[in-house]
Amino acid sequence: MVVTSQYREADLWPVWAAIALGLTGGAGIVFTLGAQQWRALPEAERPSRREAVVIVGAVALGAALYGAVAASVDDRPSAWRGPLLVGTALVGATPIVCVAYALWKTTHTDRSDVAAGELTEWLLARRRTMRTLVANLGALVGLSTLALGAVVRMEAELVKGHALASAEATPFEYVLVFGGVGTLLVAIAYVPAAIGLRRQAHRLAERLFTLEGVDDSAALLERVEQRARFEQLLGAEAGPFADLQAGIVVLTPLLASAVAVWLPR
């Protein structure tokens, strides 16, 4: 795909080529990490085979729809490279999406009879899994957006050199839309499971540090502080949206897109 690019004479072609190689290689790494996380899940927490097939089918359908829309909008012979890169990123993200669904489903299980220490260890482990999930998905979205931004820049150079008609060039605003949609998809995969884990952490904190029957003000304040500290250790205090903001890698596509659109060209 890189070698057959029609933009090999452009100054930014090496940049796009490096990003494209990084994206495809990164998709393979993310796929492998997602598969490892899937195998690490206990058998009881894994979705059924039918549910996994539905998730994989939904991702494949999304890739097919994107390719069909891209082909209908851009009929140039080289237009297949963009959908192929996006499809590669979606394939790489599939195992992690399955893990996110498994975590979301598991959080709906009643764990009130599980020992506090065991449940705490479970929540900490799943919290680490979620951090890895959002970082991997955000990296794929970021690389995809940067690859598109490089293509837009190359086409802009060709338009200035009269080697490409301005009507055939991809608008700069498309990068912003693409980055926003990719970030939204990351949030859709991450937020439900993160909210479920936060709810489990709150329930555990309420069980361990109950405020019922505490009338002394000093004891009550100490109990409240203990509960808040415990929730903070479990990562339940900030909330999933704060996690997305803290994970800059998820917001990078939007920032990169805005820079590509509004900074002087």
List pLDDT tens digits, range 181-197.
888 888 888 888 888 89
For residue 246, what pLDDT is reported? Answer: 53
Question: Could you give the CA distance from residue 257 to residue 235 in angstroms, rounded to a whole number?
Answer: 30
- Rank 28-32, 49-53, 73-77 by mean pLDDT and report only the highest: 28-32
pLDDT band at 152 (very low <50, low <70, confident <90, very high): confident
The CA angle 255-153-176, to the nearest 5 degrees, is: 30
What percentage of residues in the chain have a pLDDT greater than 70? Answer: 85
pLDDT of 236-254, one tens digit each? 776 666 666 555 454 555 5
DSSP readout, 26-89? HHHHHHHHHHHHHHHS-GGGSPPHHHHHHHHHHHHHHHHHHHHHHHHH---GGGGHHHHHHHHH
For residue 261, what pLDDT is reported? Answer: 53
* pLDDT of 168 higher than 80: no
180 in Cβ contact with 254 (< 8 Å): yes
149 in Cβ contact with 175 (< 8 Å): yes
* pLDDT of 141 higher than 50: yes
254 in Cβ contact with 183 (< 8 Å): yes
Q: Which pTM does this prediction carry? A: 0.81
Residue owning tokens 């299980």: 109
In whole numbers, what is the pLDDT of the chain averaged over residues?
81
